[in-house]
């Protein structure tokens, strides 16, 4: 069997033009698949930025909420009701809104304002400069240094500006795991200051953040929340809800799916046609192998080896080029988002196996029917 594989490899590599075309086709297909699915994964991760950055174990919200960008205010009694539930260690309010920031040069820039519970500061970001305690100072705000930081004029500690005609002072610079999806800078302050600075309806609580006494208490808390007419979700379920919204209720999911399918079909057609042409041009060699005793099964193994060998090289090159492009673009292109994970690589691997199988099927059907007599007669 080793000898059969050596012959198969020499046949494949010796035809450099066909081999190169085969590799390029598969590489291009895998590059598109990994790139597009990584971008989609990055979009979903940024869409869940609030959940990932705050990191609460349980989120209580209005049941009709679909998108975390559009919070639905909760009545004040919900916070008291949740705090009184069995198994709740503590529950605190979280404010989330958008304010219009007037910069020192007179320009205006919208910014997401997160209001943290005044007593505990639950969900506070990691500080880079300054102290978290300075958030209690007069007019104090903490700015997040992420991809949108420059839109606020790269503020430093002590920088002043206005938010809805109120004076604001930067008292700290922080970092968060994930920046927001739609290119809006983020500011943190206390809950009471947030509701004073931003215009609000009668109710101001965006979410109630709950910490259970133990993991065993989580199902009971979620059940109690549903009994009072509101929705309780763990952070994992909240991320899933956000992802489902962008997958099925916006055009993002279907467009990425269509583009991924196009990339797959391009690779399938190029590799299938190229490999079929390769087999046609080497029918005499396969016929000669049959004449000296090679069985149909041996030729099938040769074809499978050739297609898998080409596909795995194309897979490695496609993933490598995509990862390199993502690394460079993330560093130098503002607001670029992509995230390669195991599921991206798994999808691409499954699709490259399908490409290899399709190419093998076309070739096998041709070589099974070849007869040594036909080759030598020609």
Range of the domain at 30: 2-46+251-377
Given a cut of 90, whether residue 307 has pLDDT beyond it is no
Task: Give the global pTM.
Answer: 0.78
Given a cut of 80, whether residue 233 has pLDDT beyond it is yes
How large is the average pLDDT for residues 63-88? 88
Q: Of 194, 229, 264, which residue sits at a domain end?
A: 229
pLDDT computed for residue 305 by the predictor = 85
157 and 31 within one domain: no
pLDDT computed for residue 118 by the predictor = 93
Residue 67 tokens read as: 């998108």
270 and 224 within one domain: no
224 and 79 within one domain: yes
Closest CA to 226 of 68, 60, 84: 60
Instruction: Evaluate whether residue 178 is within a structural domain.
Output: yes
Query: Which residues are within 8 A (CB) of 338 and not within 5 positions of it... i.e. 6 or more apart?
Result: 35, 38, 39, 41, 42, 326, 329, 330
149 and 94 within one domain: yes
Instruction: Evaluate whether residue 195 is within a structural domain.
Output: yes
State the chain's mean pLDDT as an integer. Answer: 86
Residue 345 tokens read as: 């690589």
Instruction: Evaluate whether residue 68 is within a structural domain.
Output: yes
Question: Which stretches does DSSP call E strand in the chain?
Answer: 58-61, 88-102, 108-116, 126-129, 140-144, 160-163, 166-175, 186-190, 207-212, 231-234
Residue 95 tokens read as: 């404010």
Element (H, E) at 270: helix 252-281
166 and 292 within one domain: no
Given a cut of 80, whether residue 67 has pLDDT beyond it is no
Confidence of residue 173 (pLDDT cuts 50, 70, 90): very high
Residue 235 in 3-state DSSP? helix
Instruction: Evaluate whether residue 372 is within a structural domain.
Output: yes
Cα distances (angstroms) measured from residue 304 to each of 21, 299, 357: 18, 9, 8
Instruction: Evaluate whether residue 21 is within a structural domain.
Output: yes
Given a cut of 60, whether residue 356 has pLDDT beyond it is yes
Given a cut of 70, whether residue 374 has pLDDT beyond it is no
Residues 22/14, Cβ–Cβ less than 8 Å = no
Residue 59: phi, psi to the nearest 5? -115, 130
Task: State pLDDT tens for residues 11-61.
Answer: 778 778 778 888 888 888 888 888 888 888 888 888 888 888 998 999 999
Report the C-alpha gap between 168 and 200 in whole angstroms. Answer: 18
13 and 78 within one domain: no
208 and 118 within one domain: yes
How large is the average pLDDT for residues 268-281? 76
88 and 25 within one domain: no
pLDDT computed for residue 37 by the predictor = 87
Instruction: Evaluate whether residue 53 is within a structural domain.
Output: no
Report the C-alpha gap between 357 and 210 in whole angstroms. Answer: 51
Residue 265 tokens read as: 């079909």
Q: How many domains does the chain have?
A: 2
Determine the angle formed by the axes of helices 342-368 and 283-291, rounding to 10 degrees: 70
| Residue bearing the bigger pLDDT, 334 or 227 | 227
pLDDT computed for residue 377 by the predictor = 57
Residues 207/61, Cβ–Cβ less than 8 Å = yes
> What's the first-to-final CA gap in the chain, in angstroms?
29
215 and 104 within one domain: yes
Report the C-alpha gap between 364 and 239 in whole angstroms. Answer: 46
213 and 102 within one domain: yes
Instruction: Evaluate whether residue 214 is within a structural domain.
Output: yes
Q: Of 229, 262, 286, which residue sits at a domain end?
A: 229
Q: Of 175, 197, 229, which residue sits at a domain end?
A: 229
Instruction: Evaluate whether residue 140 is within a structural domain.
Output: yes
264 and 212 within one domain: no
Residue 136 in 3-state DSSP? helix
Report the C-alpha gap between 5 and 23 in whole angstroms. Answer: 19
Element (H, E) at 297: helix 296-332
| Residue bearing the bigger pLDDT, 375 or 32 | 32
What DSSP letter does each residue of 31-47 carry, written as one string? HHHHHHHHHHHHHHHHH
134 and 69 within one domain: yes
């Amino acid at each position: 069997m080793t000898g059969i594989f050596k012959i198969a490899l020499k046949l494949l590599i010796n035809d450099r033009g066909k081999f190169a075309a085969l590799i390029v086709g598969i590489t291009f297909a895998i590059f598109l698949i990994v790139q597009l699915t990584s971008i989609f994964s990055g979009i979903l991760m940024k869409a869940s930025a609030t959940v990932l950055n705050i990191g609460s174990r349980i989120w209580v919200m209005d049941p009709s909420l679909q998108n975390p960008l559009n919070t639905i205010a909760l009545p004040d009694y919900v916070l008291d009701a949740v705090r009184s539930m069995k198994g709740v260690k503590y529950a605190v309010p979280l404010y989330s809104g958008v304010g219009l920031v007037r910069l020192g040069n007179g320009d205006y820039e919208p910014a997401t304002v997160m209001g943290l519970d005044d007593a505990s500061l639950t969900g506070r970001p990691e500080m880079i400069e300054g102290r978290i305690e300075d958030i209690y100072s007069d007019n104090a705000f903490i700015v997040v240094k992420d991809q949108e930081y420059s839109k606020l004029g790269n503020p430093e500690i002590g920088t002043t500006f206005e938010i809805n005609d109120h004076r604001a002072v930067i008292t700290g610079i922080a970092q968060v795991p994930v920046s927001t999806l739609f290119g809006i800078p983020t500011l943190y302050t206390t809950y009471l200051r947030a509701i004073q600075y931003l215009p609000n309806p009668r109710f101001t609580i965006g979410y109630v953040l709950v910490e259970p006494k133990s993991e065993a208490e989580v199902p009971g808390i979620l059940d109690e929340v549903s009994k009072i007419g509101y929705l309780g979700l763990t952070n994992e379920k909240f991320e899933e809800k956000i992802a489902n919204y962008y997958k099925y209720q916006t055009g993002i999911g279907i467009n990425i799916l269509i583009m991924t399918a196009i990339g797959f079909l391009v690779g399938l057609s190029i590799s299938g046609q190229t490999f079929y042409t390769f087999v046609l041009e080497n029918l005499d060699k396969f016929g000669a192998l049959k004449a000296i005793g090679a069985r149909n099964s041996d030729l099938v193994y040769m074809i499978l080896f050739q297609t898998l060998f080409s596909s795995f090289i194309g897979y490695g090159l496609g993933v490598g080029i995509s990862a390199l492009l993502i690394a460079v673009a993330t560093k130098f292109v503002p607001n670029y988002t992509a995230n390669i994970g195991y599921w991206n690589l798994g999808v691409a691997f499954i699709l490259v196996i399908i490409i290899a199988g399709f190419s093998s099927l076309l070739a096998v059907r041709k070589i099974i029917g070849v007869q040594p007599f036909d080759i030598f007669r020609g």
